[in-house]
């Protein structure tokens, strides 16, 4: 019931933010205004009606979940101390990464070279760091948002740029399940903004597909990484040939 109440409270907040009244919601749901008020009061929305209200808000359900997570006060960004502690211990970083990907503690220590005693110490540390809540039986509850942001230029981003990114792109991308595309050209600011919006939507879709995949047995899933990026940029060998090197590009 607490989860349902949080969803409804998030819907109400977004409706107020966009200036949408119960009358408009009633028209969308084809109900009386009194019936809509009861839905909000009793937190008795069906998934279909939640989806209809999201359409009115021009929201995806994933957007609603994202806003709900904020309201639940999940950690949206790690502190410098937390990032430093994670990157200073590769096994701890591995444990946090796979717990966030919904692997169980037992699955992690079975697949990776981490003893049960060592793993339990890591769980306790992650609990102390407020990334998880450690439950009986070495079960965990995540208290960090699934799409948390990194500190710009912070320890995890530097680890990513130095190790992960280099390894990721050291491939031909012609194997099964691999794909790479590079698009470059002259875009308007409006086009640039639209591409960024679509990338963010794809990221939300990817998060949701990952959540859906968590329902499958581990043997039916595999590690997979997706990188999406766009920035005003030109290949260095081209840029060096510009007659006006300081010309504004964006």
Kindly report, residue by residue over 57-99, the tens digit of the pLDDT.
988 888 888 777 666 667 778 899 999 999 999 999 999 999 9
> Which pLDDT score, from 0 to 100, does residue 149 have?
81
**Among candidate residues 109, 91, 6, the one with its CA nearest the CA of residue 50:** 6
CATH 1.10.260.40 assigned to domain 2-71? The reply is: yes
Q: What is the maximal distance between C-alpha atoms in the chain? A: 68
Q: Rounded distance, CA 122 to CA 117, Å?
A: 9
Measured CA to CA, the distance from residue 235 to residue 194 in angstroms comes to: 22
The CATH fold assigned to 75-146 is: Arc Repressor Mutant, subunit A (1.10.10)
Mean pLDDT (whole number) for 133-147: 86
Q: Tokens 């950690």 appear where? A: 75
> In this model, does residue 112 exceed pLDDT 70?
yes
Confidence class for position 211, pLDDT limits 50, 70, 90: confident
The model's pTM: 0.63
Neighbouring CB atoms inside 10 A of 75's CB total 16
Q: What pLDDT, on the 0 to 100 scale, is given for residue 32?
A: 93
Three-class DSSP category at 165: helix
Note the pLDDT of residue 85.
Answer: 95
Please report, for the chain, the start and end positions of each structural domain, with discontinuous segments joined by +: 2-71, 75-146, 171-236
């Amino acid at each position: 019931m607490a989860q349902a109440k949080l969803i409804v409270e998030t819907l109400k907040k977004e409706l107020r933010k966009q200036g949408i009244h119960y009358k408009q919601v009633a028209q969308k749901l084809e109900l009386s205004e009194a019936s809509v008020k009861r839905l909000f009061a009793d937190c008795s929305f069906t998934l279909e009606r939640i989806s209809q209200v999201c359409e009115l808000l021009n929201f995806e359900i994933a957007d609603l979940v994202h806003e709900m997570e904020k309201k639940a006060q999940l950690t949206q960004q790690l502190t410098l101390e937390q990032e430093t502690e994670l990157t200073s211990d590769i096994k701890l970083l591995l444990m946090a990464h796979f717990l966030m990907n919904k692997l169980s503690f037992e699955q992690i220590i079975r697949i990776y070279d981490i003893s049960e005693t060592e793993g339990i110490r890591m769980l306790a540390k992650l609990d102390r760091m407020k990334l998880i809540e450690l439950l009986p039986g070495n079960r965990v509850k995540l208290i960090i948002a699934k799409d948390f942001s990194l500190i710009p230029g912070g320890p995890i981003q530097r680890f990513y740029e130095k190790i992960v990114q280099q390894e990721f792109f050291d491939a031909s991308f012609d194997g099964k399940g691999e794909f790479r595309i590079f698009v470059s050209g002259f875009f308007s600011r409006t086009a640039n903004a639209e591409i960024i919006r679509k990338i963010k939507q794809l990221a939300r879709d990817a998060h949701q597909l990952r959540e859906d995949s968590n329902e499958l047995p581990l043997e039916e899933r595999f590690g997979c990484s997706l990188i999406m990026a766009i920035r005003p940029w030109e290949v260095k060998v081209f840029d060096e040939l510009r007659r006006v090197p300081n010309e504004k590009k964006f």
